[in-house]
């Protein structure tokens, strides 16, 4: 892959540089074709760099930023009063072409608003969306969007999301024509709300993606589709509900294994198995959602990510930058523009 430079918001997330810096060093050790620019308070970043046994080099630069965006800060507030925030400066580096991608574990709303303001959307894209890889039984995972950037989306928006996610899935999984589905409450054409039915008509008539029809939410993790498209409200609910159930099952299992001495012994015996199960459904592997539709690669890490989870987000950014996802998407979207007015709406 082409060598890439990533701009990293070193102050973002619940623990900022304490998590970001060690993850950055792990990435550099893993890929010698990658350069990193750590953006944030120079003294703090330096301190964490020393603590983690790393140092500035031609592959690891520090770019000072005097401000940082709080996790609970309002997007408009951040946009107005944090012009020198680590988040904003990292995005500026992407806009200036000094970095191919930006990674931040900061405040989602602020990142979305600032990225939208700094980078703007690609021609033909009305709104950026949040797309993430979700685990599937087959192991490859599926790309799902929108996960909360847009509520009350229109069919044209969902069509744009589908086109963009198909390009991403194709590049990431190396499949020519990813299977694209619409999330709905039934398979039949008559099922669902006006939004999905109209979007289904659009997807079919446009012929831009390999649309395979409606998928019900219990099939999200079945591996029967590569791309799952839905409104941001619905996508966010589906993903959070899934997290809720995983937590419920985890808590019940812990309770039952801690019930008494016998169950505790049983736990010891099957710990290796349970560990492997845990690794396979470990959300850390899937950390790093893409803010898709912008003029540059922007990856949002979970705010509570640990170093390994943040590393996964960095690897996602590196892959998408190296594969030049942005150019691929804008090329595909131009085909959309040529055949429909949706993009210019």
- Only one residue has tokens 């965006």, namely 69
For residues 96 and 268, which CB has a smaller minimum distance to a copy of itself in the complex?
Answer: 268
For residues 51 and 247, which CB has a smaller minimum distance to a copy of itself in the complex?
Answer: 247
For residues 56 and 249, which CB has a smaller minimum distance to a copy of itself in the complex?
Answer: 249
Least spacing, CB of residue 254 vs a copy of itself, in Å: 10
Least spacing, CB of residue 245 vs a copy of itself, in Å: 4
**Contact status, residue 20 vs residue 50, Cβ threshold 8 Å:** no
For residues 124 and 192, which CB has a smaller minimum distance to a copy of itself in the complex?
Answer: 192
Least spacing, CB of residue 309 vs a copy of itself, in Å: 17
Which residues share a beta bridge with 61?
37
Annotate 152-211 with DSSP letters as a single string: S--HHHHHHHHHHHHHHHHHHHT-SS-EEEEEES-SSTT-S-HHHHHHHHHHHHH--SEE
Distance CA(345)–CA(339), nearest Å, equals: 13
Least spacing, CB of residue 60 vs a copy of itself, in Å: 36
H helix intervals, 281-340: 307-322, 325-339
Least spacing, CB of residue 300 vs a copy of itself, in Å: 15
Count H helices and E strands in the chain, helices first: 11, 11
For residues 136 and 328, which CB has a smaller minimum distance to a copy of itself in the complex?
Answer: 136
For residues 84 and 256, which CB has a smaller minimum distance to a copy of itself in the complex?
Answer: 256
Burial classification of residue 136, based on how many CB atoms lie within 10 Å of its CB (0-12 exposed, 13-18 middle, 19 or more buried)? middle
For residues 144 and 317, which CB has a smaller minimum distance to a copy of itself in the complex?
Answer: 144
CA distances from 77 to 82, 106, 107, 113, 223 (A): 8, 14, 12, 10, 41
Distance CA(80)–CA(77), nearest Å, equals: 5
Least spacing, CB of residue 57 vs a copy of itself, in Å: 41
Of residues 240, 237, 202, 230, the one with CA closest to residue 145: 230
Least spacing, CB of residue 239 vs a copy of itself, in Å: 8
* Contacting positions for a copy of itself (CB under 8 A): 135-137, 148, 151-152, 183, 185, 192-194, 216-222, 230, 232-234, 236-249, 251-253, 256-257, 259, 263, 265-267, 269-270, 272-273, 276-277, 280-281
């Amino acid at each position: 892959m082409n060598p890439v430079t990533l701009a990293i918001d070193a102050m973002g997330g619940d623990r900022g540089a304490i998590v970001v810096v060690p993850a950055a060093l792990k990435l550099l050790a893993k890929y010698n074709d990658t350069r990193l620019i750590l953006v944030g308070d120079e003294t703090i970043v330096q301190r964490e760099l020393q603590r983690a046994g790393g140092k500035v080099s031609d592959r690891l630069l520090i770019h000072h930023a005097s401000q940082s965006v709080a996790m609970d800060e309002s997007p408009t507030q951040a946009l107005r009063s944090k012009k020198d925030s680590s988040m904003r400066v990292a995005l500026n580096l992407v806009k200036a072409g000094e970095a191919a991608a930006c990674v931040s574990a900061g405040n989602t709303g602020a990142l979305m608003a600032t990225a939208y303001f700094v980078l703007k959307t690609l021609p033909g894209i009305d709104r950026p969306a949040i797309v993430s890889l979700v685990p599937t039984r087959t192991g490859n995972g599926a790309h799902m969007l929108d996960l909360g950037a847009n509520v009350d989306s229109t069919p044209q928006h969902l069509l744009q999301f589908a086109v963009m996610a198909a390009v991403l899935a194709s590049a990431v999984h190396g499949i020519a024509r990813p299977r694209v589905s619409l999330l709905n409450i039934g398979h039949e054409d008559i099922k669902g709300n006006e939004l999905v039915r109209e979007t289904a008509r659009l997807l079919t008539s446009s012929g831009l993606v390999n649309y395979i029809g409606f998928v019900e939410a219990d099939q999200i993790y079945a591996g029967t589709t590569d791309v799952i498209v839905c409104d941001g409200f619905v996508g966010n609910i589906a993903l959070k509900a899934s997290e809720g159930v995983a937590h419920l099952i985890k808590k019940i299992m812990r309770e039952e294994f801690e019930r008494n001495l016998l169950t505790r012994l049983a736990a010891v015996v099957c710990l290796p198995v349970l560990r492997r199960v845990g690794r396979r459904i470990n959300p850390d592997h899937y950390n790093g959602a893409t803010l898709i539709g912008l003029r540059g690669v922007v990856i949002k890490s979970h705010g509570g990510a640990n170093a390994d989870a943040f590393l996964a987000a960095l690897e996602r950014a590196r892959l998408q930058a190296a594969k030049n996802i942005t150019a691929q998407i804008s090329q595909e979207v131009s085909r959309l523009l040529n055949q429909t007015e949706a993009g210019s709406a």
